[in-house]
Structure 1
Amino acid sequence: MSALWRNREFTLLWTSQSLSDLGGAIAQLAVPLLVLDLTGSPVKAGVVGTCALIAKLATRLPAGVLADRVDRRRAMLICDVIRLIAGIGLGVAVATGRATLALIITVAVLDAACTALFNTIEHASLRSIVPAAQLPAAVARNEARTYGTALAGPPLGGLLYGVTHALPFFGNALSYLASFAGVTLIRRPLQAEQSEPPPRHATALAEGLRFVFRNPFLRAVLIIAAPLNFALTGVLFTIVVTLQRHGVTPGVIGLTETIVGIGGLTGAFVAPALQRWLPFARLIRAICWAAAGVLVASAWLTTSVLAAVPVAVAVFLGPSCNAALFGYQAAITPDRLQGRVLSVIFLAAMSASAAAPLLAGFFVTAWGGPRTILFFAASVVVAALTASLAAGIREMEPLEETAPT
């Protein structure tokens, strides 16, 4: 792990994106607060979030194609410039009292689309700046970054918004400036040289889809990642709704996400040790079955904030699973296909998690909290069975012996 921190390019990328993620987490809290102050409508605040989510989902597959067709460094810098200008524009509008719902939605959609493209390119570039044996550790470090900024961002966003409403948006814009500087300072190429011109967009996308669905390991990743994301999102939403129906105060309900976030952050730091302790295939199987078990335990605690503790345990195991799966994916996927393969996996996982709150709302109303959580836990069993039975997982080789196929 110390060798990874001596990797100049990875350290620059990780540090600059930590600041960028922190700015994003700050704005994520400030945007709905701003919409509520301007309109007084929770529905309109939800519309902004939904528009941003739709933009992310719609951008995923095109982002994968672009990540493999264009100069990755240049594309990342363009994304940062667009997000920087949008953030400053919104901050100025808020400071001068000219912010409108249409402007907020426009900025949110631009930011979401550019972030989807940037994140896809960042993940695709890891293979170019990190040795294959260290890819799982790099993924685990990125997981720690995600959970850490998600924990720190909302409280900081609330504090800045309390000082003056425009401050969180200027802070977010400043974080994109830090991202721009970090990417600019990276010396190593972020992609391999291509001997042939890239195919057309539709052909390139079809090539990426064929590669995913013909590769036993990547097919298994799709079936493992989607149910896990679906279940964790659904269970957490179910707990929040159930606690609210039992009259638990909002402040206590808010602790659920803090507990879960701490579990994920701790798990990200423990992930490298777990990877050294168990072979990847056995580790993935153990994590999936353990996640199914602890989510079942959560069903008996739905009237208390303690229901979040089993979820935190499942999320604690998540970074180790992600590090193993995505580290191995990066090692076996040719560089020219990295973006497209990642975009397919991300789209499957995001689509499943986006549907979870809606289904959870229906099921909680019809069945109650415990049965709804058991339903989501059952979906994790699908992931666990896949991890146990799929040839692509059982036949995983040590990373030192892998080569793109």
Structure 2
Amino acid sequence: MVTVHGRGRAGVATGNSHRPPLRHNKDYALLIAGGAVSSLGSQMSSLAFPLITLATTHSPFAVGLVTGAATMALVLIGLPAGALVDRWNRRWTMIAAAALGAIAYGSVAAAAFAHRVTVPHLMIAAACGGVANSFYGPAEQVAVRSVVRTRDIPRAAMNNEVRSAAAGLAGPPIGGFLFGIARGLPMVADVVTYLVAILTASRVRTALPGPGTKQREALLPAIRSGLTFLFGNNLLRAITLLSMFLNFFGTGLVVSVTITMQQRGTDATWIGAVSSAMAVSMLVASFLSGRLLRHLSVGVLMLLTPIIGAVAFAGMAFVHAPPVLMVLMACATFLLAPCNAAVISVLTSTTPAEKLGRVMSADNVLSLVLTSLAPATMGFLIGGIGGREAMLIFAVLLVVSGLLVLAFPRLMRLSAVARATA
């Protein structure tokens, strides 16, 4: 419900059996390690940006401006970034994107230590971080596709969920601890993670070139071809549209828990503990994704995830005790990681390698546009009709979104593992 997407076609190259399995694949280990460290840094800075902004300006509006700058950059640059990733050398794209992030966040660290932080500077740095992520993420996915065997795509998707969940659990506390020592310290740490990502990408031995000059499409036609492929494929279209709705209602419900706990005067420590329960649940589920993907189809996961989540969130609308809220939050988000892994596995193995960057970016932008509206929508509803009523409305709509999967029998029969190994 936080990210039920990340995409992919059946004509995957099968002549890759010479590639080593994941446990012996050094190139894959470098990519996954660089991405894991980078994810940790992103989680630290996602907390540090609002903290630095609020400490400097004491203005929640300024926090919104800085956070919105990063989101706006992701939306505006996402589609062209994906098309450019499909044209450029993926190794140098990852290196350049990480370098941009390091420079931007390094400038914030320097300004924080010099007590010269300004909102325009923070907005520009946050936007640069969004641009860096727009290029690095798709380039890394295409690179992973290039270095692993087709049969290993599901396991690679599961590993990605593990690292994301681990970063989500460890990043904010580390970022908060470093901020307590010095305001610019979390940004320094994030610069270090970007440098690690540069190092790991530079040491990948597999060639990661873009297409030849004669094979390149012009930018606008390339963007259009990515969207056309995404919506022209019945499987991708169904998964993309369903994921958009699941992400919107799921994100709104997660936000609603924080808002309602704040309104009840719950201690901030307990609010953080409930959020941590979600991260722990997703991390545990990530390790179980292999078994779940072997026994549950993609459609069944996309059906059970919102239904179980909706029941748990509906329970949270009537519960005030933080320990019980932690248990319900863990239940609500438990199937997220396996569901994400299933979708990513299928869609990565479904999209031709030469279109993967632009298709992934198109999907991410479409999801982000709708999902970014969820917090404001939920906040408006809570202010208008109350927290419990708003949560129940979103829970019902989340169930309806999940039931829509039943309209796609192919998804209900589709195995992520069998799809990748076929």
Same fold (TM over 0.5): yes
Q: How does 1:304-343 map to 2 (within 5 A)?
A: 304=322, 306-343=324-361
- 2:228 equivalent among 207, 210, 221: 210
- 1:301 aligned counterpart, secondary structure: coil
8 Å CA contact 1:225–1:349 kept in 2: the answer is yes
8 Å CA contact 2:81–2:361 kept in 1: the answer is yes
Q: How does 1:265-304 map to 2 (within 5 A)?
A: 265-301=283-319, 304=322
Kindly provide the CA deviation profile for residues 293-327 of structure 1, in whole angstroms up to 9, marking residues without a partner as x.
Answer: 33333333267563353332232201111111110
1:208: how far off?
Answer: 1.0
CA distance 1:299–1:132, shift in 2 (3 Å): farther
Task: State the one-letter code of the partner of 1:52.
Answer: A
- 2:389 equivalent among 364, 371, 396: 371
CA distance 1:129–1:117, shift in 2 (3 Å): same
Kindly provide the CA deviation profile for residues 372-396 of structure 1, in whole angstroms up to 9, marking residues without a partner as x.
Answer: 1222223323442332221551463
Q: Which residue of 2 aligns with 1:262?
A: 280
Q: Which residue of 2 aligns with 1:175?
A: 193
CA distance 1:337–1:120, shift in 2 (3 Å): same
2:169 counterpart of 1:156: no
Q: Which residue of 1 aligns with 2:14?
A: none
8 Å CA contact 2:345–2:420 kept in 1: the answer is no
Q: Which residue of 1 aligns with 2:44?
A: 26
TM-score by length of 2: 0.88
Q: Which residue of 2 aligns with 1:187?
A: 205
8 Å CA contact 1:212–1:341 kept in 2: the answer is yes
Q: What is the aligned residue count?
A: 403
Q: How does 1:5-404 map to 2 (within 5 A)?
A: 5-190=23-208, 193=211, 196-301=214-319, 304=322, 306-394=324-412, 396=414
1:76: how far off?
Answer: 0.9
Gaps of 5+ in 2: 1-19
Kindly provide the CA deviation profile for residues 335-376 of structure 1, in whole angstroms up to 9, marking residues without a partner as x.
Answer: 111011111221222222211111111111222222212222
Q: Which moved more, 1:30-39 or 1:260-269?
A: 30-39
Distance 2:326 2:260 in 1: 12
C-alpha RMSD of matched pairs (Å): 2.4
8 Å CA contact 1:363–1:372 kept in 2: the answer is yes
Distance 1:279 1:305 in 2: 33
Q: Which moved more, 1:244-253 or 1:324-333?
A: 244-253
TM-score by length of 1: 0.92
Identity rate of aligned residues, in percent?
Answer: 28
Distance 1:192 1:285 in 2: 37
Kindly provide the CA deviation profile for residues 203-224 of structure 1, in whole angstroms up to 9, marking residues without a partner as x.
Answer: 1111111111111110111122
Distance 1:210 1:398 in 2: 23
8 Å CA contact 1:4–1:10 kept in 2: the answer is yes
1:78: how far off?
Answer: 0.7
CA distance 1:35–1:289, shift in 2 (3 Å): closer
Gaps of 5+ in 1: none
More helix by share: 1
- 2:335 aligned counterpart, secondary structure: helix
8 Å CA contact 1:228–1:379 kept in 2: the answer is no
Kindly provide the CA deviation profile for residues 268-308 of structure 1, in whole angstroms up to 9, marking residues without a partner as x.
Answer: 11111111223444444343443343333333326756335
RCO greater where, 1 or 2, for CA within 8 Å and sep 6 or more? 2
CA distance 1:393–1:190, shift in 2 (3 Å): farther
8 Å CA contact 1:223–1:386 kept in 2: the answer is no
CA distance 1:221–1:170, shift in 2 (3 Å): same
1:33: how far off?
Answer: 1.9
Distance 2:40 2:226 in 1: 32
- 1:146 aligned counterpart, secondary structure: helix
Task: State the one-letter code of the partner of 1:355.
Answer: L
8 Å CA contact 1:69–1:198 kept in 2: the answer is yes
Distance 2:321 2:252 in 1: 16
Q: Which moved more, 1:195-204 or 1:221-230?
A: 195-204
8 Å CA contact 1:213–1:219 kept in 2: the answer is yes
